[in-house]
Chain A
C-alpha cells in the first residue's frame, strides 16, 4: 500500500519536474536557433529554421510536444553535437557512473575505516577532527592539491582523461573501462583505467567519506549511549558484536538518508571535478551544453538526473521505513 502510494506520487512529481525544467527555458535568454545555424548566418536562414522546428509556437504547445516525445524516450537532438540527447547521455553517462562508483567505493571504505574504531573509542579526537577538516575543504582545492602532488610532482598517477593517449577505448558493453577492459581481454586497459581513475575518484571520495564518516560517528556514538547497547555490553557480547548487531542497525537510517543528499552534492562536485580532470562525463557535457546554449541537452540531462534522483529518493524512503519500524507509514 505504501509502495503503491509512493509510486503514484513519484510519477506526479516527475511530470511536475519536467514542466518546471522545461519552463526554465523561457528564462534562459538563449536563442536555440542560433545555436544550430551559427552566428554569421543571415537572419532569413535563422527565421526559416525557427519555423521549421516549431520554436515560434507558444509554451504549452511546445511542452506538450516535448512530453509526448519524452514518453517514448526521445529527448530531442543536441544542437551542439547534432546527435540525439539520449545517445549523448548513453555515451557520457558511463564515464560519470564509473567515477561516481569509484568515489563512493573509496569514500565508504575510508568512512568506515575512520568511523568504526572511532565510535568504539579508539583514535579519539584526532580522527574526528580529521574527518571534519576533510569535509571543510572546497573540492577545487582538494582536486588541485591532489593533482599537483600525485601527478605533477610525483608522477605516480596520470592527471587527466580516462585512458592514456596511446590506448584505444575498449569496445565493451558497459562503458565502464575497468570492466570492459577485462571483458574484452585487455587487462592492461583496465589497469590503465584504474590509474586514470585514481586522482579524480580520490578527490570526489573525500567529501563522501567525510560526510558519511561524520554521520556514522555521530549516529553511532548517539546510539552507543542508548540503553540497550549498554545492556548488550553488560551481557558480555564482544565489542565487535555490539557494534555490528545494534549500532550499525540503528545508525543506518541516518546515513541512508545521507546517501540521497550525497547524490545531489556529488552532482555538483562532478561538474567541477570532470572539468578539472578532463573527464568526459555528464558533468562536462552539461557545462558544454550551457556554454553553447544547447537547450535540448540541458533539458535532457536535467530531466534524466532529476528522474534518477526521484527514483533513488523513493527507494530510500522505502528502505528507511523497513529499517525503522517506529516510523509508520500513514
Chain B
C-alpha cells in the first residue's frame, strides 16, 4: 500500500516539475490586452484590440511602412493607377500560400473582396466607392471605382482595411452566413502567424507559420493574455511574465520605470479633440471664445500627460498633416473672466470618452480646473462611445463639451473629415452641419497633389476652429514599455497600439 502511494506521489511530483521546465529553446513573446478580442473576422473586427494579431494573421494588398504613412506593397508586389484615377491594377506576389497550403491567386482575392462588400459586415463600407472588380489572370487583380478617390489606397492599407481571407474559410466553411460564424474563432490567412489556441477571455496563442512566403519571423509563439487591470499588467511586466505593454501604461509612472524596462515613444493618428455642443449652454459665440481660453492646451497639457503630449497644430494628427504652427488659442484670461462674469452664471457638463478612460478623465479634470479659473463651474461625466452617438438626437440632454481621442480609418485626411467633420460623418457627435464645409471637404477629397490637398484640408480645419465646432487639443504620444533586449518593434502611426510581431526579435 504505502509504496504505491509513494510511487504515485513521486510521479505526480515529477510531472509537476516536468510541466514547469521550459521547453528547449522555444522563443515566446508574451503580451497582454486589457479587453478581450471580439472576433477574428477581419471584416467585422472594428474594435482596437486585436489589430496586432490580425495584422500578422491576414494580409492586405498594400500596407504602411514602419514609422511612416508611406505606402508599400504587401500581397501586391506593385500596382498602378489609371490616368483618370478610376482603375487600380495590382500585381500579386507569386509564392503566397494560405495557411492550409493552398496557393493564392487573383481569383481568391476577388472572391474575398466580394465577400467584404457584403452589407451585413461591419467594415464593408471601406469598399463603398468600388464599381466592379476583376481577376484577368492569376496574378492580376483590378478594381474600378465609381469616382476618383485619392484616399483609396490608404483605405486598403488601413488597420481595418480588406485583408484577404482564403477559400479554406470562404468556400469550405461558408455555412449560411459567408463564414461569419466560422471566422469568429478560426482563420485562413496568408500571414506569418496562425492561431493555434483560442481560450476566450483568457488567452490566445499565435504560432509561427513555417511555410510563410516572406521573411521568417523570430518568435515561435506569440502569447496574448487577457489582463483587464493595468496595475496587474505592470506587475507582470516587472516580474517578467510579460515582455511588453503596448498601450495604457500610465503616463505618471513612466518616469519611475524599474530598471530593465525601456520606452518606445511614437505618434499615432489619434487626435485629442473637444467637440462643442453649440445648441445648449454654449449658444453664445462670445462665451464660446471665452471657454476656448480655458481650453488652451498650453495651460494643462503637461499636467495631464506628463510631457507625453504636444499641443495640436490642426484638426488632423501631426502624423497625417504636419501643419507648421500650433493652433491660435485666445490667451487673455482676464478678458475671458470678464466675459463670463458679464454673462449669467453657467455650469457646463463635460463628457469624456472611454477610449483610454483614465487619460480622458485626467484631461477632463484639468479642463474643469481651467474653467474654474475663468469662473465657470464644470461637472464631469464619462460617456462610452456608443452613448455619445446618441447626442445628436437630443442636444439638450447631451453634454456641453465632449472630449475624446478618436482614430480615423487611415492616414489620409479624407478619412478624418469623412469620419468626424462632414454633415453625414458618423462621429460628428453634435450633428454640426455646414454645407460650405461639406463643399470644401468634397473638393479637397478629389485633389491628388499632396501639398495642395494638405493646404485645402488645413483651411477646413481653420474654419471649423473659427466656428468653435471642433477644438483640436493635443497629439497624445503612444508609449510602448518593453523589456530590454527586444528590438524591431516597428510601430506605425496608422496602426494604433500595434507592435509588429513579424519584425520583432530579441538581440
Contact = CB atoms under 8 A, between A and B. Distances in A.
Interface of A: 29-31, 34-43, 45-46, 48-49, 52, 80-83, 88, 91-92, 147, 152, 159-162, 164-169, 186-189, 191-192, 275-278, 280, 284-285, 287-288, 291-293
Given A34-B389, A187-B12, A278-B232, A42 B424 contact: yes
Interface stretch (B198-206, B313-321, B323-331): B198-206
A270 B44 CA distance: 31
Interface in B9-56: 12, 15-16, 18-20, 22-23, 28, 30, 35-36, 38-39, 41, 44, 46-47
Interface stretch (B139-147, B286-294, B380-388, B491-499): B380-388
Contacts of B424: 42-43
B201 A45 contact: no
A280 B229 contact: no
Contacts of A82: 38-39, 41, 44, 180-181, 184
Interface in B56-100: none
Nearest to A287: B228
Contacts of A34: 385-386, 389
Given A29-B390, A167-B19, A291 B384 contact: yes
Nearest to B199: A169
Given A275-B229, A280-B199, A280-B201, A288 B125 contact: no
25 contacts: A29-B390, A31-B390, A37-B122, A38-B46, A39-B46, A39-B426, A40-B160, A41-B123, A41-B125, A41-B426, A43-B424, A45-B125, A80-B36, A82-B184, A159-B236, A161-B225, A166-B19, A188-B18, A188-B19, A189-B19, A191-B12, A280-B226, A284-B228, A288-B35, A292-B35
Contacts of B123: 38, 41
Interface of B: 12, 15-16, 18-20, 22-23, 28, 30, 35-36, 38-39, 41, 44, 46-47, 119-120, 122-125, 128, 160, 180-181, 184, 197, 199-203, 223, 225-229, 232, 235-236, 239, 241, 354, 384-387, 389-390, 406, 409, 419, 424, 426-427
Nearest to A155: B239
Among A40, A186, A293, max chain B CB count under 10 A is at: A40
- Give 8 nearest A-B pairs by CB, closest first: A38-B46, A280-B201, A280-B202, A188-B15, A188-B19, A34-B386, A278-B227, A38-B122
A191 to B, nearest CB: 5
Contact of B201 (A42, A52, A276, A284): A284
B330 to A, nearest CB: 32
A31 B389 contact: yes
A161 B30 CA distance: 14
Contacts of B226: 278, 280, 284
Given A39-B46, A280-B200, 19 more contacts: A30-B384, A39-B386, A41-B122, A42-B125, A42-B424, A48-B119, A80-B36, A81-B36, A81-B39, A82-B39, A82-B180, A82-B181, A159-B241, A160-B225, A161-B225, A167-B19, A168-B197, A277-B232, A278-B228
Q: Is the interface of B mostly helix, strand, loop or mixed?
A: loop
A49 B197 CA distance: 32
B387 A29 contact: yes
A193 B18 CA distance: 15
A188 B200 contact: no
A104 B78 CA distance: 63
Contacts of A161: 202-203, 225
A42 B409 CA distance: 13
A306 to B, nearest CB: 22
A166 B221 CA distance: 11
Contacts of A42: 125, 128, 424, 426
